[in-house]
Structure formats: structure tokens, C-alpha cells
Structure 1
Amino acid sequence: MHILKDFQEKAVGSLLAHTFDALSDTPEQVPILLEAPTGSGKTVMMADYLYRLVDELPLQPSLNPNVAFIWIAPNTLHIQSLKSLQQLYADTAKLRAIDLSELSTNPVLNPRDLLFVNWSSVDGMKKIWRKENETNTNLETLIENTKAQDTQLILVIDEAHLSAFTGPQAIAVRNLIKAKVEVMVTATPNSRPQRTVSISRKKVVDEGMIKKSVQLNIGLDPAKQNSDNVHVHLLRTALEKKNELAALYDAELGAGVVNPLLLIQLPSDTATLSDEDKTIRETLEGLLNMEYGITTNNGRLAVWLSGEQNRVGLEDMNGFQDVLIFKQAIAQGWDCPRAAVLVSYRNVQSPNFGIQTVGRILRMPHQRHYKNDSLNYGYVYTNIESNRIRFEPSEADFFNYQIANRQADKGWVYDKLSTATIVNDRASVGVLTTAFERKFFSVMENTYGIGQLPDVDLFTPAQMEDVARQKEANKNAMREKFWQFEIDEHQIKIPTDIHLDPYEVNAIMLSNDQIKAFSITDAQFGSMFDRFCYDNITRLNRSKSWKKLRETLNHFAEYYLGLNEFEVRKIYLFPQNKAYLVQHIAKALENFEAWQTKQGNDSRRVENKDWEVPETRFFNELYRREPIENHALEPFFEYEKASKPEISLKDFLVEKAAHIDWWYKNGDQGKEHFAVPYHDKKGVKRLFYVDFIIKFKSGKIGLFDTKTKRSDAEAANKHNALLDYVEAENKSNTTRTLIGGVLIPELTGDVMTFKYCKNRIEDTDSLVGWDFFNPEEL
């Protein structure tokens, strides 16, 4: 199984919690939604969710552990998912992934079966798996036989946003299956039920799994059209971008590691080719052949159309194909991380631009962002008129509409600065690790005054005697504090024949004849011990931690008591011993959590790299364009919710243009922007992004962060860290001078001034002793 990213782990944990809650509820067909952006690892998350569900169901009191699954997907996506999960489950027998062809006469799903179904095979009464027949090979019989064995069904609906899953036939099929739980999976849900797990695109971007956004029609210029029709011009521009990206991949990763793929989507939404499709295809294939040498004959052109497919090796990172022509066939599920550029020819009757298609170019080839930021975006070229494009809210933020370029014709010098990023090597927060074992051993040693058994190799009689003596000494030390080790198999005492009023909340006292001791098998002991370990993970992620607790307890038995895991279970689970053990586990968990928190802070380290004003920066529709001559990027884009101090300083810098070469409004997050490290009030290493970088006529460089009085509790820490940074940089590079600090505006009458402090500060309550910010003096 894959090691999940933090956001994936949280999503799986939430899915499990919702599922356990739904399974304990009376209603059937309880909906659960996983809203996961394209490229977030949906299949991996679902695979881990199903695996852990069958693993943990036996640990849930009062829940039926017998569960089977039906996974329904559109088109041939079920085959892709089937193969993926078969591969993920190859090393475990937890689940059996199958398709309809593997079911026999009078079919049944056994517990832990995972059946993959193509939606079109069951969506109508005329389909073979919906018809009655002599062999009872139909969906109705499958459901009846499965439920007759007391096996619950969970239905997974992949790409659940499609109308196929919400129409009358879909409702009929879902009502026929009548699963206990229906898990809907999609990037673009039509609605959100009460039990919804939603993954934000930002989290997936931050992990580097998908591109930061999509850039639309970059470089498309009427002046370069040269009498070509728009279809040809779109393709020429897109091919230029594809070749540019290929060179950037080669420079960063090595020649031929990634061959970026250009996708061409034909206009009509029907499966068959329309006359318009055929005309455009002929034109494009002629251009590709005559001017670029890209044809199906030499393998550089792939085709994915109804009845025509030529795509062997297409998904390979260095696949030979440069261009793929398709229609709507790859709108769902297709995974080709090297896909980088999309040319979409849409007719005027189809103004919507769907994220399912755009999603094909969002994946990152190596699931990380690259140093060259141009490789961290997808590129779309389309002939849709801008006033006809319609995006759903969940789709709109994939697109950057506005571009600003660094002004390179004014002779300005853009100095390199050292910017910071924070790297954290800590173990996953909230998950029990090997370090817990030492914490637990320490609690037991301090509580009972015991030590580990001697480490012997040859087991001579003398060594055996030493081991036996230490073993007995440890047991006696624990006996003195009321542990019992001589326990028979009839140790599980269970109340019997008790009649309770379910509405009576007061406790009742049971007599001895109402409690009976039961013997249990080794398998039952194992199940009870697993549940004990699971229930005692109270401060961390249970799903990821309970097995480590079990391992720790078994190691303690071996290293201190000379007992194996089968012998020690009944000792641990004896009520009197169990009461003490719960306390010791809780103490060890507290110690581990404190240690892990400290490790997390200690492992956060700062890494530095060179930074300069970017050559190109993209802005979405939340930024307003403003012509400003002395801003480093042209045009200047201002965030529509910019703070008043930021706006005031912008206006001030424009007013003082005679004393300034250039200034730059920095971004407020992301590795591509300039950042300085600091420690917050809790001592945690963090970054802050100064608002303004200013190059004065004198050659000095100013780094200023705008605030108002008492607006930021961390202002003093940021200011002092910035001064430390400035002093260190000025010492290491004496050819330039940096200045900076927190900059606070003051309005006196109708005159706006700004103040900053050249010294370290404790707060921003008072500006006494602060200097005026005057560019003419600097």
C-alpha cells in the first residue's frame, strides 16, 4: 500500500469515521461524499479506505464485520480502477478485486469481495445483468444471495457527478442494490450530503501533486497569426509552448526524461465525428505532417476516437507521442502526468469548459513542483470567446487570466536576494512511531523498578539462570503492585441474564451469580487484544497507530517477562491487570506526544536559495490591473482586498518615483515569493513574506512589511527577524546595502507619513523614536 500524504490520511480517517457512524445507523443507502480534486490520488485514497475498513470493522463494537463492495464507474473507468486496486492489493489477501466475468452461476459476493461494474452493463432492464435467466446470473440474484449470508453491501459510485448516476435508471439500480452505505467520489459534486469529506485544491497543490493552476491562451497573438485560420494559429502557439516545456524539462531533469504531451480536443460532444470535427482534424493533421513531421505512421501522433485508437505507451513519462487527438473520451479517469498542453476546439453551442477535461493536464509527472516555475502550470488554448466561457465555482480558480512581465527595457538591475523556505523532516504528526516503545518501556521501568532481560546468544546454563532470575524478579516487582500472572482460561467475566430498562440511566449492582467467567480461544483472545489496543489510542490517529501499540506491548512481554504474544494476551486482558495497563499506556502516550511536538519544532529547518523579481507572474480575476510606471512588473495587479496600509504605501511609492528605480509587491505565500524566517511567540520557526521590495536610486534595497499599530501580535518578532536578516546579508555582501523593517502609516491632518524603526522593538504600540520613511533621503 502507498504511504499517504497528510491530506490523504485525514480524508481516509474522516471517511472511516463517517462509515462506522453510517453502519451503526438504522437507515440504508446513507450517502457519503469524497470530493477530491483531479490528481489528488482518489484511487489510492479509496484503496486505503477500503483496506482499513475491512481491517478495522472487527474492532468496532456492535458492527457487522462482514462487508462486500460494489464499485460502479462509467465507460471503461472500472477496468482502470480494477487493475489499479488489484496491483495495490497484490501483497495482501484483505480484499479480492473482481469483475462480473469472474462471477459464476447463481452468483454471490463473499465478505471482502470488491466487485467492479461498468455502469452501462446494469443501467437498463434490457442489459444482460438485469434480465432474468435460467442460471440466475443477474444483479438481483447477486444482491439477494449476498444479503442472505448476512453480508452488508457498500456501494462506491465513481465520477458521481455524471447524470448517469442521478437519472431514473440509476435510482432504480441503486434501489435494487440498496447498499447500507453509498460512497460517492467526484471532483465536481452536484450536491453535498451531511457526511462529506472535501479536499481543497490548495492542499493538493501544496503537496506538489498537481499544477498550481492553468494558464489560458498564453502567447496567443493576432499579430503572429499571419493569415492562418484560428484553428491553425491555436495549434502553432500550443506547439511552441509544448517545445518550450520540453526544453525546460530537459534542462531540469535531463534529456528525454519527460516528453510533454499536447492534447487536441475536437469540437462536438457526440461520440462520432461531425463534419466540423472531420474538417478540423484534416487541417490539423496536414499541418502536423507537413511542417512538424508528426504523423500516426511515425508514431508521434496518437488518436483516441471511437473505433480508432493508437496509443500504446502513451502514458509513459518519455512516451514517443508528441500529440494526441481525442474527443470527450478522456474526460474521466485517464492518468497521463506528462500531459501538459490542451488545445480545445469548442463550438459556439458548447460554452462550458469542464474541469474533467482540464484535469488531464493538472498532474505533476513526479508529484512535486519543479524549480522552473513554468513547469508547474498547465496550458490551455481554446477558441471559445471570452464572453462565452462559463466556469463552475470549483473550476474557476484553476485558471490564471492575467499576466505581468518584468520590465527589462529600463536598465534596472534586479538584485538577487537570499530567500527562505522551511523544510520539516518530522515524523507524521498524530501517528505512533517506533519511538513510542522506548517511552512505554521507560514508564514501566520507573513504575515497577524492573529492567530488561539479559541479552544472551549461546544460552549456557549460567545465562539461562540469569534470564530466569531477572524474569522472576520483574514479575515479583509487578506482583507487589497487584499484577496477577497465574490466570486460567476462564478469565472473561461477562454479565448474563440481565434485564435492564433501556430508558433507565441509573447504574445497578450485579450479584455474583449474574456474572459468569467464559473461556475463549486464542483467536478470540487475539481479536479482543486488537480491540484493546485500538481503543487505547486516545490521543493519536487510531487507524495508523494501534498496530504499533500492539507491537510495543508484545515486545515488552518478550524483553521483560519472557512471554510470547499468545501467552501474554490473557495477562494483559485480565481485568485487574488491564486497569493498570490502561494507565501506563495513557502516560506513555502523553510523553510520546510531548516528545513528538518538540521533535516537530526542532526538525523544522530553514533552507535558503537565491531569489529575484520574477520574469513572469500570473494573476487571477481577484486582481485589478493598474498602470504604474515604476513597478518592477508591468502591468501592476492589485489584490481587490488589499489592506489600506498596502494601498497607501503603493500610492506613496508612485508619488516618490523620482527617488526610486523600481518597487515590487511581493506575494504572501508560496516558494516563488520572497520570505524571511522568524520564530513566533511559541518558538516555532515560520516564514513571513515582506510586502514591498524597493530599489532606491542610491542603490539601497528596502524590505518593508506594512502594518498598523497593534494589528499583528507577531509584528515585533517579524521586524526583529528582518533586522537580523538585513545585518547578516550586509555582512556577507558588502557591495550592496539592505534596509528594512515594519512600516506603519500615520495620518496627520491630510498628510500621510510612514515610520519604521532601525532598532529592535518589543511592540508596535508606540512609534516614539521611529524614523520617517523618506525615499529622497535613502
Structure 2
Amino acid sequence: MVSKIKDFEFQTQCVDYLIDKTIETDSKQVITVKAPTGAGKTVILIKYVDQFLKNTGNNTAFIWLCPGKGNLEEQSKERMEELAPHLDTRNLMYSMMAGFEAGSITFINWELVTKKGNTALKDSERSNLFEKIAEAHKDGVEFVIIIDEEHLNNTKKADDVINAFAAKNIIRVSATANKVPHQEFYEISEDDVIGAGLITRAIYVNEGVDEKKEIQNDYEYLLDLADEKRKEIAANYENIKVNVRPLVLIQFPMGQPETIKAVEDKLASMGYTYDNGMVNIWMSDEKIVSEDLINIDGSPAFLLMKQAISTGWDCPRAKILVKLREGGSEDFQIQTIGRIRRMPEGKHYGLNILDYCYIYTLDTQYKMGLLSSLDKAYQVRRLFLKDEAKSFTLKKEMRDLDFDGLGERETLEKVYEYFKEKYKLGSDKRVNQENLEAGGYSFSHEIDNKILQGIFRTSEDLANGGSDNKIKIKTTVNTHTHGIYLLHAVDEIKKVTGMQSQKVKNILRRMFSKGKKRKYKFIELENSDFYAFIINNVKQLKMDFKSVTSQMGGVQLSFKLEPKISDFSIPEMELYKYSEVKQCQLMRMNAYREYTNEFITDKTRSKPERLFERYCERNNNVEWIYKNGDTGQQYLSVVYTDAFLKQWLFYPDYIVHLKDGTDWIIETKGGEVSGHSKNIDMQIGNKFNAFKLYAEKYNLHWGFVRDIDEELFINNTEYVEDMSDYRWKPLSSEL
């Protein structure tokens, strides 16, 4: 019997649910429990294992998989030994010697089975692991896998290990899971955990941030606010005679040395240092941690940490989180709030200041975190190629890495001409600024931000924090501390153009910054104003640069690209995403065996793709159809160039082989609805032209296919966006 722990009704109900689902013969394999931080997921799982082994057949062995580089599997094992000492707990090495026996619980760190290096299993040990699993199966042992999935481990090696156990059930407990059709799903509400007094009653974001005040330094401003709040909380603990010392967590997403140094200097100026024990640091490459850090009366007042410190780390006195930005526009990952939501004594005090937790950040977006592949609305199935498609080959193209596009001057000329034409720019700098402002550009002297401020009861409330909770703030430009913001903005433009960062920066300076070179100059901004202009307008600049690259010009069409050529054949085995359907039907024309309508749902295919596959299924001329991959060396690729002559790979959607031996290559794109285009691919024209040349070179039939009112139309002559144009013909007239 599990002892030494207070029972909460929401935990008991969750345990009962898990027992019911793992006893049922027709339950779905994956059982996901969404449990907010502080719900006591380890205790819930220990109680569940104990009750299951007591009240059901004894031929089940449990595998408890733990994430992270820390020793969470040891912590979980020790917790089970403390609460249920009668259970047979083991580590992986013990079970690999003794075997996976019925009634045992084996705790495994993911890193042992997924990572290369000193801590990973050697090949011989890996073989031994699979042998021991096979022996247990022969002995009639059934497995239940528990995945403590705070960090995701969606690797092939992890999948191989999970698949080898062939578990009757896989139980996941996660704070960020989603309900999907192919899993059993149970949610512990945050309100229940708040009601039990285990976590704070609310989250207060950016208390005291004054939108009327111009911020001179992000770090200093936020740290001053956080320390003021820490002192206020400490005084309130003292007033009610509670011996808790509040801790401030300072989170660095990337942990850049210059940012850490700036924060250390600021803390030292406030009287907090490593030497006097008031500051601790926990980074992958540096760790200065006091012995009493996690005690509720521990001495450190500040802990410097990266995005997530060692998994399983628990410090209930942590009350304040300062999340610093090391780039221009980072997201706040909501799961990190779990570090400051636990109540230090597992109860509320009846004072808001002690029953709330506090966040200080200038981030503008709040995200619930990445989804696991198990959370998405589809699953993956392995399919095998039919014999008739195995001999099919084509030539595929790859980039010529010896050619790197236009030079900087030619690129600058294209960007300059685009801005000049779009915004009607000329030689008058004042008029140019007015026209750019009219086009949506900001010329603020400060860095502008809209940030969240307010009190939020749950994490979900925080994620949905609307515009009513936003305030405007302005930060004075500092070309030293905001240099990294500028680099991030430039990198955002680099991503959509493929240009080198320095080239992007040089072009922006030639057009918008003061300098000796007068040609190509639209605006002459001082250096600090130039920083503000780029950082504030990064989204608009990205869109404009992307639009430049999508242009088709005479230079591109006259340019003779010689891509690298290699052979393509359809992979004999493929993993395709699928989702459940009411009535499963075999798609007979697909190149893979056992390909069904489960693979062409709205969760896995776009509408034109779904329409096209169904069209081919009804077409008596088709022998087989193959859905190409989106990226990867094993798939059919065609090289196209953008307006900067930068090379990109394009992966046509479908290969269709007809019974008369004719081959078609098809790309599907968003069509039209109510006269409005659904196509979102700005490079569609450049891809169309490259595709046309490729098809002519290899004597293939081809076309771009789009939809209107459930009907498909094809174009393989000259690209036009307007589908009322005569060049868009009914697909049935061609294929």
C-alpha cells in the first residue's frame, strides 16, 4: 500500500481511470494523461502501478521511461521505494541481467537507449536488451510502458525500443498533451490542482511595468522589478511567521556569455554575487549551486538558468521568473512556468502576494510548447511498394553548390528597384519616409513592443491572453546591447532569401543608413535609428525581400543552370501519416500496398491533394500513383532559382504511371474559392518554369493542378494566377 502521502480526490480519480483502461481489452494502446505541473504525476503513477499489480494478473512488467540528462529515473525509482517499498524496482542494467520479470518495474533513462557516447548502450548491450525483451515475451510477460515525457524523444532508436516491448498499453503523462482520436485521453484540470492548494492561485505577468516609462535597459529594468517583488514577498512570509525565502529564476534561452555577464554585473551592483552565496548558476557548461538551494529557506536569492534546467528539478520556493530575450522576437514557452507554480508548503496562505507567482518578460508571444508526434492528429504506418512500381526510375536534380546566385551589387539593384516601384520612392528622403510609413513601415526612434500584462488563473488563460491584456512599451536603442537583436532580424531575412547575413546587412545599410555611398539611398538614418528601423520592421522587411525573390525576370530565364543529376527510384518502404476514418477503403491505384483512405484525410493531405488522389483512383487509365516526399535525398527533386538566382529544391507532389506507359509529374497548389486565390506559395511562378524545363528535358507529361468547387484544373503552358484564364483546363481533358 502506498503510504506517507496525502490523498487528493483528483489523483484517486486519475488512478481509477488508468486501472480501468489498462484492464479493458479494447482500450486504445496509448493512454495520455494531461496533468498540470504540481499535480503529483509521479505519485499518481506509483499509486497506479501498486494498485494494478495488487488487483490484476501478475504477468505484467512495467517499463518507466524518464527524460533528460539528469537522474530523473533514479529520483522516480527512489520515490517509488519510499512510498511503496514492497514493489520490485530495478534499473535497466539489473533487468538486462535478470530479465524483465512479471511484477517488476524497470526505470530507464531515455539517453541510455537513444544517445551515442559514453552513457549509451553499446551495440552488444542493445542486442542483449532486445533478446531479454524477446525472452520475456516467450515467458508470457505483458508490458505496460510509462513515458514521463516532459522532453520529447521522438527518435528512431526510441521508437525501435518502444516497438520492441510491444506493450499492451503506453501511458504518457504530460503537461502539454492534446486530445486526439487514436488515444485514450484523461485531463486533470488545473482548477483541481489549484483547489488542492498545490499550485499558485494565479500567474501575475509584468506587474509594475509602466507603459509611460521608456526602458533604458531591458535586463536592468526587469531585474529591478523582480528584486523589489522578491523583497515584498519575503516580508510577507516573515509577517505570518513562515520560514520561506523566495527565489528568483533568471532564464536565458540561449545562455550567451555577454548576456550572462551583463546580468551578473547588474546583480553585483545590487549586492548579489556568487561569492556571498546570493547568486547560483545552473548551465550545461557551468554550475555553481549551494547545498541548500532547493530548501524552502535556502540562502540563494537568484538562480541563473537556461531554457530548462535538469528535468525533475523541483524548488517550491521559486516564486518569480525573469525571462530575458537574447534576440528580437522570442516566444515564451508556457511549460517553464511550472518551475514557479508550486506552493512551498502545499497550501495557500490567503494572501494574494504569497498565493500568486510572478513573471517578468518582454516577450510578445506565449506558446504552449511543441507537440509530441504522439499528440498530433495523425499516426504513422510503414508501407511497402508494389512489385509493378519497383523498376520505375527518373532523373532527379540537386543543387550545383559551385554557384551561389547573383553578386551583392546585382542583388542590391533588384531589391532597390522593387522598393522604388512598390513604395514610389525617389530622391526626396522626406517623401520616401512618408511613403514607407504609408506602406506600413515604422520610423520610431525606440524599439517598440506590445507585451502582456495582467493576472491569469491558469496556463491556458495565459496562452489565450488577448489584446485587452497588451500594453505598449518603448526601449531606448543601445547599439551594444541590441546588436544581437539586429543580428536576429537580419537572420530572419536571410532565412527567406538564402543570402548570407552580411550581404543582407550591407544591402539594408546601403538603402536606409547614413553613409558615404549615396547611390541606392532611400533614407539616411543615424545608426541607432537604423537599428530601431530594422528590428521594428523585420516582419515587413521579410515579406518584401521574399516578394523580390519570387519575381520572374529576363535575367533568370536567360541564365543556364546546370544542376547535379542522379537517379531516383521510388523507396521500397515508406512511412506515411494517417488518421482514423469511419469507413476504411483500400486505394487500389496507389504504388504502395495497403494504402487506404486513412492516408488522405484533412489531417494528412491538402484539399487539392485529396481531390487529386481520388480522381486518380477513379481513372481507369492509371496503373499506379505515388505521393512524393516533401524533403530529403530519397525523393524526387527539381532545382529552381529565385530572382537572386539562388538555387532551391522543389519536390513535385505526385508521379502518375498510366497503363499505356506514359508518365505524369504533378504538383498540386491551392485553387480558388469565391474568386479568391488559395495559393500561398510566392515562388509558384519560378517553380512552374523550372518544372516545365525539367519535363521537356526528360520527355515527361506534367502540370500544376488546382481546384475550384471540387473540380480540378491543370496548367502546363504558362503560369497565370487567375484560374478563369484559358490556360487552366479541366484535368479530365489531359489526364
- The TM-score bracket by the shorter chain reads 0.3 to 0.5
Q: Which has the greater radius of gyration?
A: 1
TM-score (norm 1): 0.45
Greater RCO, CA 8 A, separation 6+? 2
TM-score normalised to structure 2 length: 0.48
